[in-house]
Amino acid sequence: METLLPGLILAVLLFVLLGAGVWVAVALIAVGVAGIALFTSAPVGQAMATTIWGASNSWALAALPMFIWMGEILFRTRLAEDMFAGLAPWLARVPGRLLHVNVLGCAIFAAVSGSSAATAATIGRMSIPELDKRGYDPRMSIGTLAGSGTLGLLIPPSIILIVYGVATDQSIARLFIAGILPGLVLVALFMGYIVLWALLHPAAIPREEERYSWRQRFRALGHLAPVVLLIAAIIGSIYAGLASPTEAAALGVVFALALSWASGSLSKDSFMTALMGAVRTSAMIAFILAGAAFLTVAMGFTGIPRQLAAFIGDLGLSPHALIAALTVFFIIMGFFLDGISVVVLTTSVIIPMVEQAGLDLVWFGIYLVLVVEMAQITPPVGFNLFVLQGLTGRDILFITRAALPFFLLLVIAVVIIVAFPGLATWLPQRMAGF
């Protein structure tokens, strides 16, 4: 245990800094400086300069601001309203009816946004008033939105998968493709739960007065055409090997601007607001990544990850036991930190253990995102909860109780992906070019 004492000291320092309200990136850099200065003889200034520059000067990282900008542009279009109009006629006869719009709408918007908060806010702004007006149970309306909003982290293009790929030097294209099948499994779990709940509580689902003919249903699909085209352009170009994730992100921005212009919502103000929103978010994430890269190098100098990996190895944990322990650890971390911070804080220490256990790093990335999704709907730092509180005006305890069943569904999704790892690895293995 004495060999792990430096790690315990640095971990305490990190949580003290975070608890004091210090920016995550600054806290990471400070702990890295302390680690090198206290436990090694390496030059702090030189290590910091080369590491932060190397982490910032990354071509793969260029996809991050482009996807964020694309999401910001689409956030200000009529895309959400069009999705509601396109999906509603097809869901009128399904048990649960328009509650499924939250799930499918979030899944579709996640495929063009990459952000959990943007997904929950955009779909919620459109669906919550409609569902309230039609008399749907408010707890179920909010719960389905809280759970489905997390799809923005998993269904590609996912911002957090880009962060994980940069932090662990994994192919972002492979990570994007790996997220497709688990994302569909999560959609199926959410919709299945809504169907079961609706069958058990038939009185809670209002009758739909409006009847749709098949002609009206097929005509409604036209509202979905723009977003389907955008998804095909982004994911299809990556899967076909025609574009890298960064190039696909640039293509997505062009399509998003075209959609915004076609909908009449592109103006100088909306353009500048979207651009500045993307700049602020991208700068924050890039700063955190730079701090995490420096902390990773500092941990390498101290030898703490190797010692911790050896300590875990000496415990003789099986891969499944290790995953179970990490799941509990990540859920606890999610109580206090947002998803991106959890990823960048833990990869330098966790990845050596994962590699020693023989786990596939692409699979582990998808597992990690699923666990981090739980952090989006767990208090006190569940960001999706705060987004929905702002949209609905409900107290945070009501929203947390509404989100609880979907938290449990995320736990089931983790069990499924551990039991069937091929869900995350089969598609990437078919991508010989990546």
What DSSP letter does each residue of 177-208 carry, written as one string? HHTHHHHHHHHHHHHHHHHHHHHH-GGGSPPP
The greatest distance separating any two alpha carbons of the chain, rounded to the nearest whole angstrom, comes to 75
Specify the long-range contacts of residues 104-108, CB closer than 8 Å, at least 24 apart.
Answer: 104/187, 104/191, 105/80, 105/148, 106/145, 106/148, 106/149, 106/151, 106/152, 107/148, 107/151, 107/155, 107/183, 107/187, 108/83, 108/224, 108/227, 108/231
What angle separates helix 5-19 from helix 24-39, to the nearest 10 degrees? 150
CB 424 within 8 A of CB 178: yes
Beta strands in 354-426 (DSSP E): none
pLDDT given at position 421: 92
* pLDDT tens figures, 368-425: 988 888 877 876 556 677 777 777 878 878 888 898 999 999 999 999 999 999 999 9
Q: Please give the residue that has the higher pLDDT: either 59 or 356.
A: 356
- Say which residue the tokens 């709907």 belong to: 377
Residue 432: band (very low, low, confident or very high) from pLDDT cuts 50, 70, 90: low
Residues 6+ apart with CB under 8 A from 273: 72, 76
321 located within any domain: yes
Q: Which of 6, 1, 33 is nearest to 17 (CA)?
A: 33
Tokens read off for 51: 């590491």
Range of the domain at 335: 61-298+307-429
Q: How far is CA 332 from CA 8, 95, 323, 350, in A?
A: 17, 35, 14, 15
Q: Which of 421, 251, 392, 406 is nearest to 320 (CA)?
A: 421
Nearest-angstrom CA–CA distance, 213 and 189: 29
380 located within any domain: yes
Q: Please say if the pLDDT value at position 431 is more than 70.
A: no
Tokens read off for 147: 């759970």
Residue 194: band (very low, low, confident or very high) from pLDDT cuts 50, 70, 90: very high
Q: How far is CA 283 from CA 97, 276, 286, in A?
A: 41, 10, 5
Burial (CB < 10 A; 0-12, 13-18, 19+), residue 59, is exposed
Q: How many CB atoms lie within 10 A of CB 402?
A: 25
223 located within any domain: yes
Q: Using H for helix, E for strand and C for coil, what is the string for 40-75?
A: CCCCHHHHHHHHHHHHHCCCHHHHHHHHHHHHHHHH
33 located within any domain: no
Does pTM surpass 0.85? Answer: no
* pLDDT tens figures, 15-56: 788 778 777 778 888 888 888 888 888 888 888 888 878 777
* pLDDT tens figures, 273-303: 888 888 887 787 778 778 877 877 787 777 7
Q: Please say if the pLDDT value at position 190 is more than 90.
A: yes
Nearest-angstrom CA–CA distance, 149 and 125: 12
Burial (CB < 10 A; 0-12, 13-18, 19+), residue 13, is middle
3 located within any domain: no
CB 122 within 8 A of CB 114: no
Of 97-101, 185-189, 212-216, the least confident: 212-216
- Helix or strand holding residue 428 (H, E): helix 422-429
* pLDDT tens figures, 309-335: 566 666 777 888 888 888 888 877 776
113 located within any domain: yes
Q: What value, to the nearest 5°, has the Cα angle with vertex 181 and ends 177 and 182?
A: 105
Q: Please say if the pLDDT value at position 263 is more than 80.
A: no
73 located within any domain: yes
How many domains does one find in the chain?
1
39 located within any domain: no
CB 376 within 8 A of CB 383: yes
